């Protein structure tokens, strides 16, 4: 019965895996209905049952099924194993590695007595050790993944269950649930907005996690659902949504709501996506449409791929080569054996008859082949992979421990989240960086201003607007430029007018939570910075209604009548307000891009314009964002006429936009210049220095941002990606496929012969289409710098993928938001900036730290070291194993190719894992060719890594050659000595066991000397390990050849007493000394010659170790290039304000009143009654406009 049930369940699960969703049907509050559809099967109580079932089945199949189960709810899963699947899956994965599988085969071979030339323990001991270490590491990794998954899955959320709001874990939210979100909460799933605390079902979200833009966005629910503010109504809600299946398009949603026999179209404006944060909205209700892995955020994250470093790939190739080499040797020796057996062995049968199996010399050769494969298997070093893992783990810990990558402000240390990529950090050629939050802090600070031809500069950089926000009563801050404060105190009219403009001309919403605690909600941080600046200088913007603005000017409350807002848009690049001040004068205040404002100035302002223009250049040169401010006194009559025209124009249906633009243009003429502001888009600390430094290291930095072109370029200049000496900056943008083809190929032809070229791309979808990607890539790679703007998260990944695929270069992506996740996952190395809001990027990343500037240390110090250490380690490792193993090959020629080993079996077992593992690990962990200060000081030291110089096929060939040479000398020098050797007491001494001990001892000494020569940085640990290994070798040697252990296992330790008899002989030590000298000297001579004749930069800088500060600070530009951009690229909020839609009733009453009925007649309603017609149309127009924009 139970089995039947299980099977049925399994069948359903399998079916649902196969089922492809074409259309989604979700019904609110109707779980039974939703459960009918495969996507909504589950609360995962069934999980345990399936887990039980899993123990029987094979890991992969089960995990596939269980993933299916998980797809249904809001559960996300990044981990790989669970307790039951761990062992089979992990072993399966481990044996997929060529090396491990190979050793398994060897082990099987060794169990065949006819072939076995070595005991089984020589392979199984290292193999088990390797498997256990790797498994432990994998288990710990997965454990932390489980923990982070759990942390996200266990976030609490309010869900409407059976008529009441209940707290549920995120992972238990199901499609069709109605959930409640509160201010500043993350949205748990993709939900349809039903209603909110704000009027008209408006709510504000921040989408930084999704697309990196931090300005607030508005979402509005359907009017039909916007009044369902209380639970009973929500309970009764039984609308059914039919919509598109889950996809990764962040800006598109199509669906229909069927409710009460009505159809309502749904679009993206009504959706809140997972990863967004609710802002400035007390609460809202929504219905879950997509959950868990089906959310647009998760769909945008590419699947977790196992990242391999290029060294890994090279290593795999080399292992295959070695394997081929091994087979060659086996064949040679097998042929040798056949020949030997037929010439000599045949005659030796009196003493050693051929056994039953060995019917002929040829068959004997065949068996010998396998025997030699077993003996020579140590050329493919079994401990290689595990040693590499240990090294990487160690390097990761060093990254975690680095104090210089610790940010004390956010209390976050750098973290290596994956431990498999460290050496790749030393080979990075391309960095793809996000802008917002990565290069910049996304904090705008009012930094300078020019008023009436006079510049004011504040002296204290510590002033941040965050600090002042909380206390608006403290009007004048002492650390501002004294002269400006003086000017305000003296009531200089120009200065006053300047700040009055800043306080009036904007679309910021004030929110006074309690007395004296004023919070501004600005659509763009720039505006917030300006208004805040005005407040700090005594012009406090306190409140607004649709028709008034109240300021607190130098302590006096002044109310201005707001007559019109001439809103900002991309074409106008300016905004104006028309107000009537208490004295009855009508004034137009305007701010905007300098070029735009200057065109519209009154001739009387010409002188001032020139001065201001100079100031603007100066500001722009420092990378500040500038705006020009101007005002105009309006004549009452003129204004009346204009207003009438405006009223008329705004009711026109056709061409309303154009007509309005003309009217605006008409009134914004003859302005009087007031001055200019400069806002600093604060960069993260140390960004320009870092970028300069990385550029010196030949790393190409591409900025991929979703932001607009102007901002991107501005940031490009201020953080030294773009420099003034780059004489050609090309901006390519186009909207259609055709334009792109033309633009790209034309420019490609033009510039192909120049190299000092900069490009800024405004990337549209088409640039990444197959026909264009080559043109795009070729062109982009001609440039020193590439900035791509307006890219979607998926496009970011595509760009990275493009470079990765065609350039065969190591790429690194760095970002902080969820919009960077796909790129972080695609790049060879993903770096997440932590400590900001949201952890998506960090969770997907391989490395994370708090600030961009740490990238310099991560790459130039840790990456370089890791790469250097890994390469040195590998070279030495291959050398060591060749020297160790090939001795058997030479011995083959003297022992009738009979696969007799030179060494004791225990020596073979322990050589790699005990006698020589620790010194090479110590070198791989602690070695420093150049100390960290010098690594940072000479970024060129990074270049060998990019060019793959330290470990490549040539280096591999050289170090194996050295190993072969060593093995040759190591065999033939003792051979020469041992043919004639006798002991000091005359007794027979040229036996195989003494020979074995002599060679083994020579080998251990030679490889220890060699590691000593290869170590550049002898710490106490190196000393301990090197001397310790030698000690351990001798101790083990004597222990294993002692009377006691022989007494217990006579068959396993036949070498009893050899060490004692052998190492007490002077002649043996003479042989060892000679061998060591002969083996080491050539290598030493060659490396001396290399350092002497062709010193690399590393060698040179090693000579001059010592701290010295290098000045990488950027030089201030004196540029004529100006940035004039301080607005969001979206349409402003002007219409929302004038319509009064986003006005709160009152801050006090709106706090906690979800059951409030918006029907209660207030003054806003009255106003709206009047304007109803107009505003509705405006909203409609606005929506269509926005849609056009997003399309």
Partner 1 sequence: MGKVKGKSGPLARRPDNSAFKQQRLPAWSPMLTATTVLPFFYLMALICMLLGVWLLLTVQSTQEIKLDYTEAGTCDMCFEKRKNVSNAAQICTCTVVFPIKKALKGDVFFYYGLQNFHQNLRRYMDSRDDAQMVGRKTNLKNPSSYCEPFMKDPNGLPIAPCGAVANSIFNDTFTLTYHGSSGPSIPVPLLRKGITWYTDKNVKYRNPKNDNMTLAQVFEGTARPLYWQKPVYELDLLDPTNNGFINDDLIIWMREAAFPNFKKLYGVLYRAKQPFTKGLPAGNYTINISYNFPVQYFRGRKEVVLTTLTWFGGQNHFLPIAYLVTSCLILLIAIILTVVWWKFGKNGKRLEE
Minimal distance in Å, beta carbon 115 to partner 1? 11
Place of tokens 């100031």: 615
Binding mask 824-863 for partner 1 (x = CB under 8 A): ----------------------------------------
Burial of 557 (0-12, 13-18, 19+ CB in 10 A): exposed
Is 227 annotated to bind a ligand? Reply is: no
Answer for which of 990, 1036, 1131, 1179 binds partner 1 (CB under 8 A) is 990
**Of the candidates 749, 872, 62, 805, the residue with the CA atom closest to the CA atom of residue 426:** 872
Strand partners, 203: 219
For residue 894, state whether it binds partner 1 (rule: CB under 8 A).
Answer: yes
Is 544 annotated to bind a ligand? Reply is: no
* Gap between the Cα atoms of 183 and 801, Å rounded: 37
Tokens representing 646 are 């405006």
Answer for which of 992, 1036, 1119, 1131 binds partner 1 (CB under 8 A) is 992
Q: Which helix (H) or strand (E) holds 762?
A: strand 757-762
Answer for which of 430, 995, 1125, 1127 binds partner 1 (CB under 8 A) is 995
* Contact (Cβ atoms closer than 8 angstroms) between residue 459 and residue 481: yes
Answer for which of 17, 1030, 1032, 1078 binds partner 1 (CB under 8 A) is 1078
Minimal distance in Å, beta carbon 1055 to partner 1? 10
Minimal distance in Å, beta carbon 713 to partner 1? 31
Binding mask 36-75 for partner 1 (x = CB under 8 A): ----------------------------------------
Q: Which helix (H) or strand (E) holds 773?
A: helix 770-782
Minimal distance in Å, beta carbon 993 to partner 1? 7
* Contact (Cβ atoms closer than 8 angstroms) between residue 989 and residue 983: yes
Stretch that binds partner 1, among 120-128, 412-420, 841-849, 947-955 (CB under 8 A): 412-420
The residue (of 408 and 725) whose beta carbon lies closer to partner 1 is 408
Is 984 annotated to bind a ligand? Reply is: no
Q: Which helix (H) or strand (E) holds 683?
A: strand 672-683
For residue 355, state whether it binds partner 1 (rule: CB under 8 A).
Answer: yes
Minimal distance in Å, beta carbon 86 to partner 1? 19
Interaxial angle between packed helices 864-892 and 992-1014, expressed in degrees from 0 to 180 and rounded to the nearest 10: 160
By CB under 8 A, how many residues form the interface with partner 1?
106
Minimal distance in Å, beta carbon 1002 to partner 1? 14
The residue (of 732 and 861) whose beta carbon lies closer to partner 1 is 861
* Gap between the Cα atoms of 535 and 183, Å rounded: 26
The residue (of 808 and 988) whose beta carbon lies closer to partner 1 is 988
Minimal distance in Å, beta carbon 94 to partner 1? 22
Residues between 545 and 604 that touch partner 1 (CB under 8 A): none
**Of the candidates 859, 684, 694, 681, the residue with the CA atom closest to the CA atom of residue 784:** 694
Is 591 annotated to bind a ligand? Reply is: yes
CB-facing half-sphere around the CA of 83: CA atoms within 13 A: 3
Stretch that binds partner 1, among 409-417, 571-579, 610-618, 795-803 (CB under 8 A): 409-417
Residues between 1047 and 1076 that touch partner 1 (CB under 8 A): 1047, 1050-1051, 1054, 1056-1057, 1060-1061, 1065-1067, 1070-1071, 1074
Q: Catalogue the active-site residues.
A: 434
For residue 938, state whether it binds partner 1 (rule: CB under 8 A).
Answer: yes
Minimal distance in Å, beta carbon 288 to partner 1? 32
Interaxial angle between packed helices 864-892 and 382-401, expressed in degrees from 0 to 180 and rounded to the nearest 10: 160
Residues between 649 and 668 that touch partner 1 (CB under 8 A): none
Residues between 1006 and 1025 that touch partner 1 (CB under 8 A): 1016-1022
DSSP for residue 437? T
* Contact (Cβ atoms closer than 8 angstroms) between residue 830 and residue 849: no
Answer for which of 38, 100, 819, 994 binds partner 1 (CB under 8 A) is 994
The residue (of 557 and 1085) whose beta carbon lies closer to partner 1 is 1085
The residue (of 1105 and 1166) whose beta carbon lies closer to partner 1 is 1105
Place of tokens 């049930």: 5
Residues between 765 and 784 that touch partner 1 (CB under 8 A): none
Answer for which of 303, 555, 770, 986 binds partner 1 (CB under 8 A) is 986
The three-class DSSP label of residue 158 is strand
The residue (of 413 and 859) whose beta carbon lies closer to partner 1 is 413
Integer-rounded Cα Rg, in Å, for the chain is: 37
The three-class DSSP label of residue 578 is strand
CB burial readout 1033-1062, b (16+ within 10 A) else e: beebbeebbbeeebeeeeeebebbebbebb
Residues between 1091 and 1130 that touch partner 1 (CB under 8 A): 1091-1095, 1097, 1100-1105
Burial of 452 (0-12, 13-18, 19+ CB in 10 A): middle
Burial of 764 (0-12, 13-18, 19+ CB in 10 A): middle
The residue (of 622 and 932) whose beta carbon lies closer to partner 1 is 932
For residue 353, state whether it binds partner 1 (rule: CB under 8 A).
Answer: yes
Residues between 106 and 135 that touch partner 1 (CB under 8 A): 117
The residue (of 344 and 476) whose beta carbon lies closer to partner 1 is 344
* Gap between the Cα atoms of 137 and 140, Å rounded: 5
Tokens representing 707 are 């932001």
Tokens representing 35 are 């459960």
* Gap between the Cα atoms of 470 and 512, Å rounded: 11
Minimal distance in Å, beta carbon 1089 to partner 1? 6
Binding site as annotated, residues for Mg(2+): 434, 436, 816, 820
Annotated binding site: 434-436, 527, 568, 591, 625, 705-707, 790, 796, 816, 819-820
């Amino acid at each position: 019965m139970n089995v039947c049930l299980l099977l049925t369940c399994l069948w359903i699960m399998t079916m649902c895996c196969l089922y492809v969703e074409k259309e989604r049907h979700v019904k609110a509050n109707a779980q039974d209905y939703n459960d009918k559809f495969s996507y909504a099967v589950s609360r995962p109580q069934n999980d345990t049952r399936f887990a039980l079932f899993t123990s029987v089945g094979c890991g992969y199949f089960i995990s596939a099924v269980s993933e299916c189960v998980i797809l249904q709810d809001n559960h996300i899963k990044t981990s790989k194993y669970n307790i039951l699947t761990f062992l089979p899956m992990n072993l399966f994965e481990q044996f997929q590695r060529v090396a491990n599988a190979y050793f398994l085969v060897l082990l099987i071979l060794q169990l065949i007595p006819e072939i076995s030339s070595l005991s089984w323990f020589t392979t199984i001991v290292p193999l088990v050790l390797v498997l256990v270490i790797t498994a432990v590491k994998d288990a710990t990794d997965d454990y932390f993944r489980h923990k982070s998954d759990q942390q996200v899955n266990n976030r609490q959320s309010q869900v409407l269950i059976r008529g009441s709001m209940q707290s549920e874990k995120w992972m238990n939210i199901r499609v069709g649930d109605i959930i409640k979100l509160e201010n500043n909460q993350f949205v748990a799933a993709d939900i349809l907005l039903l209603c909110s605390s704000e009027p008209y079902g408006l709510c504000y979200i921040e989408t930084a996690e999704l697309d990196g833009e931090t300005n607030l966005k508005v979402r509005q629910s359907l009017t039909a659902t916007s009044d369902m503010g209380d639970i009973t109504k929500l309970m009764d809600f039984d609308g059914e949504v039919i919509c598109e299946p889950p996809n990764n398009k962040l800006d598109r949603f199509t669906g229909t709501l069927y409710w009460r026999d009505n159809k309502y179209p749904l679009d993206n404006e009504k959706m809140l996506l997972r990863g967004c944060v609710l802002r400035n909205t007390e609460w809202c209700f929504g219905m879950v449409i997509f959950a868990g892995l089906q959310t647009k955020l998760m769909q945008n994250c590419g699947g977790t791929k196992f990242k391999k470093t290029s060294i890994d790939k090279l290593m795999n190739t080399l292992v295959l080569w070695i394997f081929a080499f091994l087979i060659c040797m086996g064949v040679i020796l097998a042929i040798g054996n056949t020949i030997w057996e037929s010439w000599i062995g045949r005659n030796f049968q009196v003493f050693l008859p051929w056994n039953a199996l060995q019917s002929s010399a040829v068959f004997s050769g065949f068996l010998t082949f396998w025997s030699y494969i077993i003996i020579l298997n140590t050329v493919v070093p079994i401990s290689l992979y595990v040693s590499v893992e240990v090294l990487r783990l160690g390097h990761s810990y060093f990254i975690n421990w680095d104090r210089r990558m610790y940010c004390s402000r956010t209390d976050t240390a750098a973290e290596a989240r994956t431990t498999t990529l460290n050496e790749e950090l030393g080979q990075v050629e391309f960095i793809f960086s996000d802008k917002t939050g990565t290069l910049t802090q996304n904090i705008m600070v009012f930094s300078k201003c020019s008023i009436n031809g006079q510049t004011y500069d504040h002296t204290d950089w510590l002033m941040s607007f965050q600090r002042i926000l909380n206390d608006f009563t403290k009007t004048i801050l002492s650390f501002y430029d004294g002269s400006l404060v003086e000017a305000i105190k003296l009531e200089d009219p120009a200065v006053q007018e300047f700040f009055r403009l800043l306080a009036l001309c904007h679309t910021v919403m004030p929110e006074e939570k309690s007395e004296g605690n004023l919070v501004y909600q600005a659509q763009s941080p720039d505006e917030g910075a300006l208004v805040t600046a005005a407040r700090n200088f005594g012009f406090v913007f306190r409140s607004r209604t649709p028709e008034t603005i109240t300021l607190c000017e130098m302590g006096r409350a002044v109310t201005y009548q707001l007559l019109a807002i001439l809103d900002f848009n991309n074409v106008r690049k300016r905004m104006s307000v028309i107000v009537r001040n208490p004295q009855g004068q009508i004034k137009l205040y305007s701010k905007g891009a300098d070029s735009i404002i200057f065109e519209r100035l009154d001739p009387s302002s010409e002188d001032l314009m020139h001065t201001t223009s100079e100031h603007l250049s100066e500001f722009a040169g420092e990378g500040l964002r500038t705006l020009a401010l101007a005002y105009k006194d309006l004549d009452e009559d003129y204004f009346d006429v204009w207003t009438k025209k405006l009223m008329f124009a705004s009711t026109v249906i056709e061409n309303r936009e154009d007509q309005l633009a003309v009217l605006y243009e008409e009134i914004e003429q003859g302005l009087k210049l007031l001055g200019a502001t400069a806002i600093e888009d604060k960069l993260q600390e140390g960004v320009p220095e870092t970028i300069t430094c990385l550029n010196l290291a030949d790393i190409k930095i591409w900025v991929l941002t979703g932001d607009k072109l102007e901002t991107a370029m501005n940031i490009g200049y201020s953080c030294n990606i773009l420099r003034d000496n780059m004489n050609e900056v090309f901006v390519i943008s186009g909207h259609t496929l055709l334009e792109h083809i033309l633009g790209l190929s034309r420019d490609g032809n033009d510039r192909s012969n120049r190299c000092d070229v900069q490009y800024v791309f405004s990337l549209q979808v088409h640039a990444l289409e197959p026909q264009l990607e080559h043109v795009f890539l070729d062109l982009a790679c001609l440039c020193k710098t590439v900035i791509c703007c307006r890219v979607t998260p998926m496009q970011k990944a595509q760009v990275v993928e493009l470079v990765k695929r065609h350039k065969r270069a190591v790429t690194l992506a760095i970002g902080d938001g969820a919009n960077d996740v796909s790129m972080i996952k695609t790049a060879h190395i993903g770096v997440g900036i932590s400590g900001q809001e949201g952890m998506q990027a960090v969770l997907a990343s391989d490395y994370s730290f708090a600030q961009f500037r740490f990238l310099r240390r991560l790459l130039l110090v840790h990456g370089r070291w890791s790469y250097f250490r890994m390469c040195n380690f590998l070279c030495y490792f291959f050398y060591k194993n060749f020297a160790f193993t090939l001795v058997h090959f030479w011995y083959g020629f003297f022992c009738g190719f009979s696969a007799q080993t030179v060494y004791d079996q225990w020596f073979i077992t322990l050589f790699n894992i005990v006698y020589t593992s620790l010194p090479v690990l110590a070198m791989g962990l602690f070695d420093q060719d150049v100390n960290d200060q010098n690594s940072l000081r000479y970024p060129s030291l990074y270049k060998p890594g990019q060019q793959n110089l330290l470990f490549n096929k040539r280096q591999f060939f050289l170090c194996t050659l050295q190993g072969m040479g060593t093995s040759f000398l190591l065999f033939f020098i003792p051979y020469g000595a041992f043919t004639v050797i006798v002991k000091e007491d005359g007794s027979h001494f040229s036996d195989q066991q003494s020979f074995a001990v002599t060679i083994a001892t020579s080998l251990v000494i030679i490889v220890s000397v060699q590691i000593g020569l290869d170590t550049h940085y002898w710490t106490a640990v190196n000393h301990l390990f090197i001397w310790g290994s030698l000690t351990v070798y001798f101790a083990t040697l004597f222990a294993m050849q002692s009377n006691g252990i022989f007494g217990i296992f006579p068959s396993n330790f036949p070498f009893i007493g050899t060490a004692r008899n052998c190492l007490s002989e002077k002649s043996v030590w003479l042989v060892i000394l000679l061998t060591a000298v002969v083996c080491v000297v050539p290598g030493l001579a060659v490396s001396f010659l290399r350092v002497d004749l062709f010193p690399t930069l590393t060698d040179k800088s090693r000579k001059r170790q010592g701290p010295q500060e290098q000045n990488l600070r950027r030089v201030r530009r004196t540029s004529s290039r100006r940035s004039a951009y301080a607005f969001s690229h979206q349409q402003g909020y002007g219409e929302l304000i004038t319509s009064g839609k986003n006005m709160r009733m009152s801050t006090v009453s709106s706090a906690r009143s979800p059951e409030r009925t918006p029907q209660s007649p207030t003054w806003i309603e009255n106003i709206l009654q009047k304007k109803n017609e107009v505003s509705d149309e405006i909203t409609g127009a606005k929506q269509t406009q926005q849609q056009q924009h997003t399309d």
